[in-house]
Structure 1
Amino acid sequence: MRLEPITWERLGRNLAERLLRVEPQDGGAHVRAAVDGAPAARPGELAERLAAELRLRGRPALVVGTEGFLRPASLRFEFGHEDPESFYDGWFDIKALWREVLTPLDEGGTGRVLPDLWDPATDRATRSPRTRLPPGGILLLHGPLLLHHWFPFDLTVHLNLSPAALRRRTPQDQQWTLPAFARYERETDPVSAADVVVRADDDRHPAWGGAGE
């Protein structure tokens, strides 16, 4: 894949313009987009930037992070606090993401999305109110390992880090997650699976593969 240098500001503008042209695959009234990436790539920052650009263009946007849909500690840590296999398959409440975030945006759905479900700090339900995303609105779901769950995204963006950059930018206390991301690369190949790839090895100088879109 040919990657071209770009600034984060221009990337946000270009991706927002592309999202404005996306039609929901299910014929519904909402677009569902993913910003996929390891925490070290900060996918939430790009999702927030995209939401701001979309709102400037008059389109409602809702940002939801998968960190608000962690499973209870008793389930996440069933096999220890640093088990990469559990992180890969058992940390995030995939059923809740389907039920509370994605399904309400199906054709004929309520449009009422739960922005988060579980607070890992207190290990209790957040009890947040639902947020209504108006027709024509765009959901921006961000987090790691998103592309191997068969979520019904209309556009997927993958923030890619080389193994060396991922290791360098991942805090020491999270290094144990690296085998999970290596497995993700092998089994899902997010660079090939995503609609748009952004190389973020150098946070000051990203590059992307969407210029020929």
Structure 2
Amino acid sequence: MEIWIIAGIYAFLIFIAGIVILFFPAKRKIGAILTSAGMLLLVSSIIGVIVSFSHYQQVQNEVFNYSSTASNQAVDETKTYQVNYEDTADNFKRKITSVTVEKKETYSTVEGKSVPGSITLALEITNNADKTLETYPNQGQLEANKMEINGGDAVLSEFEKTEIEPGKTVEGKIVFPVEKLDKVSDITWISYSFLSYLKDSSTPLTTETGKIELK
């Protein structure tokens, strides 16, 4: 674009020079040639500037669209895996129906900072015993590919009830903020454990899922 602008300036000067020379009868022929040449060069320069500007705008739009697409892909990446984990030992049933891995900036109240993602478990607990069950799934431990997380985030999680009466079922979500996550597909399995107690008993009832493959 700069070349066409410079050419336009010279064309304008040549055109003006031709106009001035036209006032001298002896040199009117030269003035006419310079005026015509300056006019043609000026028109060509204007066309060149318009074409160059159009091309520049097109390149800018392509860069902007690419950046926006890449940014959106990096921020919003979520995948939910349907799982079928169920354990009925110790007179109460625990069931995990899904695991959601999300690559998105999340504020961890446990760490007091933003982290790049989270793993969420959809959990259901049914008390089949004849005593009240005291359970603490949000204080459990989650293991996944090359990571170990002690305790879910109490603010982000939706599983507040810790006492379940006989015959009752409670369900909710446990959210574990993840400090390092490049992409959702990096998480291919999880393992989850937590403690529960029957009322007036100090004997822990341990839940250990073992490795749950995500696919």
Query: What is the TM-score with the length of structure 1 in the denominator?
Result: 0.21
> Where is the strand percentage greater, Structure 1 or Structure 2?
2
* Relative contact order higher in (CA < 8 Å, ≥ 6 apart): 1
Q: Is the radius of gyration larger for structure 1 or structure 2? A: 2
